[in-house]
Structure 1
Amino acid sequence: MSEPTPISDPYAYLNIVKNPDGSITRDLTKFPCTPATPDPSPQTPVVSKDISINKSKSTWMRLYAPSSTLNDAVPSQKLPLVVYYHGGGFVLCSVDLQVFHGFCSDMARDLNAIVASPSYRLAPEHRLPAAYDDGAEALEWIRNSDEEWIKSRADLSNVFLMGTSAGGNLAYNVGMRSSAAASDLSPLRIRGMILHHPFFGGEERSGSEIRLANDQVCPPIVSDVFWDLSLPVGVDRDHEYSNPTVGEGSGGLEKIGGLRWKVMVVGGEEDPMVDRQRDVAKLMKRKGVEVVEVFNDGDVHGAEIGDPSKRKPLFASIGKFISSFAAL
């Protein structure tokens, strides 16, 4: 088998053009979107609807609920709530992309859960920590919401932060913030985090980044561009936002351990970031956090987003992780 052709122009690969004022022009034709499906029908096992969060920031959220739970005027039991942040290197994508809509719909169905997928402002127009601010604001909105699906159908004492790729990084950093203010979020109670192919980086190339330098999904040269566009101006990839292992992380991990949160880290052996994901998992364990690791042979970055056939086993693992809290 021949070596894949290296990606030499990451901007062309990403279909973005950098503008003189520091913004970028995105070619959105590569990312088909889909509307919400608010009306239940026999062909629609999961319904969804869009809710505004902050009009001044143009942030919003798509909610997903199994149709079966909406059939009961008074639900027999409330469902776990998964707050899911989408991927895209903090630079691309949106909540309503077909791939993320399909992923969240399948997750709500297979986990029998309410899924809330908040939007966040993108870089470089809004560099980090803007996305973290928006992710945390979404939790505050959920906490105070009178929205019927959340108030009547979601169990706010059984909440999980989840994200794919940059969304996994976002879930991690929002989790760190939330652990410091856990009592302020009442009645919302976070039980754990599910980091799905989380996006982490660093200045020195890891072993997997060297081995998979010519990866065709998200090679290190493309990750470098994402970090260059999203990190605060003047910092490098060893900043805590991209590389939590520098300086052994912050005190937030001890708080997460003290709150008895559990963290699930899902990755693929053919993802250039896999060594970094393992390193963050090791760091969390050293800090007293219970970590469940699921690393799959042959899987590329974000495998289950692009390949729906891989979702069933992923959601089975997540379902087991969520149900492990029922005994606590």
Structure 2
Amino acid sequence: MSDYPAIPKPTVNFNDYLKMINNPDGSVTRPIILPTTAASPDHTTRIPVLSKDVTINPDKNIWVRVFLPREERDTSPPAAGAARKLPLIVYFHGGGFVICSAADTVFHDHCAHMAAEIGAVVVSVEYRLAPEHRLPAAYEDGVEALHWIKSSGEVWVSEHADVSRCFLMGSSAGANLAYFTGIRVADSVGDLEPLKIGGLILHHPFFGGIQRTGSEVRLEKNGVLPLCATDLAWQLSLPEGVDRDHEYSNPMAKKASEHCSKIGRVGWKLLVTGCEGDLLHDRQVEFVDMLKANGVEVEAEFVRGDYHVIELFESSKAKALFGLVKNFMA
């Protein structure tokens, strides 16, 4: 497989993307639109992966983009029990809960390359955004997507994915979403069968809190993800009337042991990745320490330097991430 196309390191302050215009009907207009890529259900894509969009809930505009390695689609469906199916990754994009889409080129390419490199069916979820739909709306959409996978009978999933080997994964806010979607279904995993979650993969998870951490102070004016942007994202996405120590933002502040107990009962393992060049670094380390202190099986990979979600933009870093994820899933 060839190297990924060159995608430059982000140079626009994330905060610039949040200059949204409030409309009289309660919606907002997002002035900057990121490049998007259409799904490719045929063989025209440069990446050896097919993709297609499937609507889950038209009333809420929830849909998924399904990615299937092309060689799987090019063969006839195997007879029952004749071949091993691919693991399933349910992926949630980032964007601080307030911007971005599963159709954005950066997330489309990331999921396509991940499906090809790991050898997995990837279901990327388009969930509702804040402030029109504040948390926990996105978590509810994540749960709805899991129930859709269980019961939809969508052919690429039913014929090629082993739903008993499912992992929830997300980048940045999507990692937060993967975690809290998991927490929401942990007490009722039987309702999802035959879908079975094996673990959670949190890529540079987006957490916050009232007390500033050392990395937040050190990287306050970081050009990729400045502190003012994270504060604003929480202001727009958290339920009205709560602060950044709400459990959705700061899972270490409240209900930490309760959440870890749920994870422990279902036996999930977690993979958490991050880097020292991300202002979220110290919170991510604190999160890992909290999990370990509460008996949760967790693997952590924190590298020196780099920047927030660098793997979305640099191919060598993405390849390393996919290798880590593949080993974790195995």
TM surpasses 0.5: yes
Q: Deviations over 1:207-232 (max 9, x none)?
A: 11011111111111110000000000
For normalisation by structure 2, the TM-score amounts to 0.91
Aligned counterpart, 2:234:
227
Aligned counterpart, 1:26:
30
Q: Deviations over 1:224-270 (max 9, x none)?
A: 00000000000000000000001351523212122221100010111
Write the mapping of 1:280-291 to structure 2, written as runs, cut at 5 A: 280-291=287-298
**Which of 63, 79, 92 is 2:86 aligned to?**
79
Change (3 A) 1:20 1:209: farther
- Deviation of 1:284 after TM superposition, in Å, equals 1.2
Task: Check if 1:262 corresponds to 2:283.
Answer: no
Change (3 A) 1:194 1:109: same
Which deviates more, 178-187 or 226-235? 178-187
- Deviation of 1:180 after TM superposition, in Å, equals 1.2
CA distance in 1, matches of 2:315, 2:134: 31
SS of residue matched to 1:181: helix
Aligned counterpart, 2:20:
16
In 1, are the aligned partners of 2:47 and 2:113 still within 8 Å (CA)?
no
Q: Deviations over 1:165-193 (max 9, x none)?
A: 11000000001112111111111000000
Write the mapping of 1:1-328 to structure 2, written as runs, cut at 5 A: 12=16, 14-19=18-23, 23-29=27-33, 31-40=34-43, 43-75=46-78, 76-247=83-254, 249-323=256-330
Q: Runs of 4+ in structure 1 displaced over 6 angstroms?
A: none
Aligned counterpart, 1:326:
none
In 2, are the aligned partners of 1:80 and 1:154 still within 8 Å (CA)?
yes
CA distance in 2, matches of 1:10, 1:172: 23
- Structure 2, gaps ≥5 residues long: 1-11
CA distance in 1, matches of 2:304, 2:238: 31
In 2, are the aligned partners of 1:195 and 1:266 still within 8 Å (CA)?
yes
CA distance in 2, matches of 1:156, 1:289: 23
- Deviation of 1:44 after TM superposition, in Å, equals 4.0
In 1, are the aligned partners of 2:22 and 2:29 still within 8 Å (CA)?
yes
- Deviation of 1:74 after TM superposition, in Å, equals 2.7
SS of residue matched to 1:35: coil
- Deviation of 1:285 after TM superposition, in Å, equals 1.2
Which deviates more, 35-44 or 230-239? 35-44
SS of residue matched to 2:254: helix
Aligned counterpart, 1:3:
none
- Deviation of 1:283 after TM superposition, in Å, equals 1.2
Change (3 A) 1:295 1:40: same
Q: Deviations over 1:54-112 (max 9, x none)?
A: 01101100000100111221342100000000000000000000000000000000000
In 1, are the aligned partners of 2:14 and 2:226 still within 8 Å (CA)?
no
Change (3 A) 1:287 1:90: same
Q: Deviations over 1:119-150 (max 9, x none)?
A: 11000000000000001100000010211111
Give me the CA root mean square deviation.
1.8
- Aligned length, in residue pairs: 315
CA distance in 2, matches of 1:52, 1:261: 29
- Deviation of 1:19 after TM superposition, in Å, equals 4.9
Which deviates more, 180-189 or 79-88? 180-189
CA distance in 1, matches of 2:45, 2:39: 16
CA distance in 2, matches of 1:20, 1:214: 33
In 1, are the aligned partners of 2:246 and 2:254 still within 8 Å (CA)?
no
CA distance in 2, matches of 1:80, 1:12: 38
CA distance in 1, matches of 2:49, 2:283: 35
SS of residue matched to 1:293: strand
CA distance in 1, matches of 2:32, 2:222: 23
In 2, are the aligned partners of 1:159 and 1:190 still within 8 Å (CA)?
yes
In 2, are the aligned partners of 1:64 and 1:116 still within 8 Å (CA)?
yes
Change (3 A) 1:32 1:225: same
- Deviation of 1:20 after TM superposition, in Å, equals 6.5
CA distance in 2, matches of 1:279, 1:20: 41
CA distance in 1, matches of 2:14, 2:95: 14
Q: Percent identity?
A: 50
SS of residue matched to 1:283: helix
